[in-house]
Structure 1
Amino acid sequence: MDDLFVPSDVSWTPVSPKLASVRRVNAAITFGLLGIAGLVVLGLTLDWLYGGLWLVVCLGGLAWSWVLVGRNQRSWKYAEREDELLVSHGILFRQLVVVPYGRMQFVDVAAGPLERAFGIATVELHTATPATDAKIPGLHPDEASRLRDRLSALGQAQAWGL
């Protein structure tokens, strides 16, 4: 069953471990804001005990997401074949996206403020069918630039026959 989502006949490239750090900072900000807001609202309206309990629930959510983010980051990988790009990710719900180079319309490279601070970027491939769009988060900027240029060149070269 594993060969269905991660074919063994290709050389897989993992994404940067910095992706987990970015997502953990996002989770810490989200759970921190939820925890403080809930603490104040519940503390002022009901009792500070309920606010404290809410804070404990938020800390538990942060701990749970901390573990899941690491596992999710390790599941992301991509491979370049002669005629197509493969992107695989997911732990519980696994997904393998195969994008033929000739079907690509354009390639995006994006990096938000946290991604830029951690030195990573996301490459996103767009096709005519949104179901076959693919993204590869957590790439070093040099690798994202190389992949963007290579995919654009291969997409342009192989689209001439369509």
Structure 2
Amino acid sequence: MLWLIEALIGFVLLVGGAVMVAGWIGPDWKIVPGWLSGNVWILPVAAGAVMLPFVIIEPLWRYAVHRWELSGDVVYARSGWLSREWVFVPVSRIQTVDKAQGWFERALGLATVEIRTASHAGSSTIKGLDYEVAARLAEELARRAQELRDDAT
């Protein structure tokens, strides 16, 4: 649902911007070709036609692709929709675990868990979790990281 709302807001902003540009161009502009100045409605319709498949396909695709799992000593996260990213984070290497909520997430009762290691490449973000699941996951990761932490000295 989070990805659908984000896609819809992007769609509305893009088509709304196209409507504003079309209104700004109007029939009096001499810079644009004559066929366009007489048919400025084509701009928002074209923007909507190009973006509509993304609004429909992207949220479904991202939902199908995004996965996470916590095993005994590794957190696995898969994300992306055009390009995919698989991240395996050893629990013993976790330095911090943060929970975050944007205002869309808060309205939907969702949260994001950010797992950080000393290496940026080893860090991971799990977005769109139910708030209670995110809270339990963050607590469990912090507890396991403390138990499994290697002595670096």
Bin of the TM-score, shorter chain as denominator length: 0.7 to 0.9
1:134 aligns with 2:124: yes
- State the identity %: 24
Aligned to 1:49, the other structure's residue is in SS state coil
- 1:19-41: CA deviations, max 9, x gaps? 33332333234324322332223
Kindly indicate whether the alpha-carbon contact (under 8 Å) linking 1:101 and 1:151 is maintained by their aligned counterparts in 2: yes
4+ runs of 1 displaced by more than 6 Å? none
Classify 1:133/1:37 alpha carbon distance in 2 versus 1 (closer, same or farther; 3 Å): farther
Ranked by relative contact order (alpha carbons within 8 Å, sequence separation 6 or more), the top structure is 1
When the two structures are superposed, what TM-score results if normalisation uses the length of structure 1? 0.78
When the two structures are superposed, what TM-score results if normalisation uses the length of structure 2? 0.82
Bigger mean CA deviation after superposition, 144-153 or 65-74: 65-74
State how far apart, in whole Å, the 1-side matches of 2:143 and 2:19 are. Answer: 49
Kindly indicate whether the alpha-carbon contact (under 8 Å) linking 1:19 and 1:73 is maintained by their aligned counterparts in 2: no
Classify 1:53/1:86 alpha carbon distance in 2 versus 1 (closer, same or farther; 3 Å): same
Q: Report the counterpart of residue 43 of structure 2 in structure 1.
A: 54
The 5 A counterparts of 1:1-150 are: 18-43=1-26, 45=29, 46=32, 47=37, 49-50=39-40, 52-66=41-55, 67-150=57-140
Which residue identity is paired with 1:27? G
Which residue identity is paired with 2:123? D
State how far apart, in whole Å, the 2-side matches of 1:24 and 1:147 are. Answer: 27
Give the count of matched residue pairs. 144
Give unmatched runs, 5+ long, in structure 1: 1-17
What is the Cα deviation at residue 61 of structure 1?
3.3
Give unmatched runs, 5+ long, in structure 2: none
State how far apart, in whole Å, the 1-side matches of 2:22 and 2:95 are. Answer: 48
Which residue identity is paired with 1:39? A
State how far apart, in whole Å, the 2-side matches of 1:122 and 1:77 are. Answer: 13
Aligned to 2:39, the other structure's residue is in SS state helix
